[in-house]
Amino acid sequence: MPLPPIFRGALRVPVIGSPMFLVSFPPLVQALCRAGVVGTFPHVNARTTEQLDAWLTEIEAGLAAHRAADPQAVVAPHGINLIVHRTQPRTEPDLEVVVRHRVPFVITCLGHPGKVVEAVHGYGGTVFSDVTGADHARKALDAGVDGLICVGAGAGGHASAQSGFTLVREIRAFYDGCLVLGGGIGDGFQVRAAEVLGADLAYMGTRFIASAESQASDDYKRMLVEARVSDLVYTDRLSGVHANFLRPSLERHGIDVATLPPKQPFMGGMNDPGVKLWKDLWSAGHGVATITDVPPVAELVDRLVAEYAAARAVPPSPSLAAR
């Protein structure tokens, strides 16, 4: 499946560093792009529309300086994630800023991407939508997106209950455009596996929380390294939409999800003003199973590149070959 032109020749490994609330700030975005994978952030990480404007200027200037200093370097494009839910008041003003900056790559989530597609196509930008199921995928395609991001079971943040294995195959049956797979992908072998399955790119979030440049606190990073999959809780009782959270971060605040009301209002968060969802109650996906360190992004991406190359060279399993 052809990659959209903005990604061709611009990546060292077919990976998008996914947008993460309170985690992906300009230093992480720039580190990812400089390392050769797409760096993205959610628009709401900037506190105001004015700050968003300033962040985009900072990212553009940083990447331009890097390109000028090393013209041979593979520098990936940057992207922004826009929440298009009707309850999000910043969507329209922030979209105007995105258009003014001609942000090359835009990811929509949580709503209908129609208006964003029209505005971003107006300047030649590329729009992907993240989807958690085939029906959702069909709606996004009807709105004219350029690619789909399948967020499968085990992802950090809001995650599908459907395995990425079936999600990709189900959507591939009716869509031959660019497909991205996310959910538990943390090394180059998994990136290659996503390709074998029929995806064009891998979407990685949790792995990059535990990196030197992420905005997550040291405590959060340490908890990721220590956590096992049995430390995760998949619940809709915190944000109103099913998401994976680190149980030890809930326990620190005396929260037991089993005792919370069945479902909170959409994105309503916690009622206790002293405890904030995402800021104090931390999210992570099944990737915690293999995270053992907090390296700089450049080192992590070098590792991904080497693992991906090794995975591409893997012959069929010896037991199968012997049959």
Give the span between the Cα atoms of 223 and 212, in whole angstroms: 14
Indicate the residue among 26 and 42 with the shorter CB distance to ligand FMN.
Answer: 42
> Using an 8 Å Cβ cutoff, are 120 and 81 in contact?
no
Query: In the complex with ligand FMN, which residue's Cβ is closer, 106 or 185?
Result: 185
Q: Which is nearer to ligand FMN, 30 or 108 (CB)?
A: 108
> Is the Cβ–Cβ distance between 82 and 98 less than 8 Å?
yes
Residue nearer to ligand FMN on the CB measure, 36 or 205? 205
Residue 37 contacts residue 185 (beta carbons within 8 Å): no
Closer residue to ligand FMN in complex, CB, 67/280: 280
CB 216 → ligand FMN: shortest distance, Å?
8
Look at residues 184, 153, 225, 193 and name the one whose alpha carbon lies nearest to residue 307. Answer: 193
> H helices within 162-240, ranges in order?
164-172, 188-197, 206-209, 218-226
| Residue pair 168/150 in contact by the 8 Å Cβ criterion | yes
What DSSP string describes 149-168? Answer: EEE-TT-SEE--SS-HHHHH
Helix (H, G, I), strand (E, B) or coil at 137: helix
**Closest C-alpha to 278, from 254, 249, 241, 240:** 249
37 close to 16: Cβ distance less than 8 angstroms: yes
Measured from each CB, the residue nearest to ligand FMN is 205
Shortest distance, position 201 Cβ to ligand FMN, whole Å? 12
User: For residue 168, is it left (φ>0), alpha (ψ between -120 and 50) or beta?
Assistant: alpha
Residue ranges binding ligand FMN (CB under 6 A): 18-21, 23, 42, 81, 109, 130, 151, 155-157, 182-185, 203-206, 283-285, 287
Instruction: Report the residue number, 109 or 191, with the smaller CB distance to ligand FMN.
Output: 109
Rounded Cα distance, 78 and 317, in Å: 37
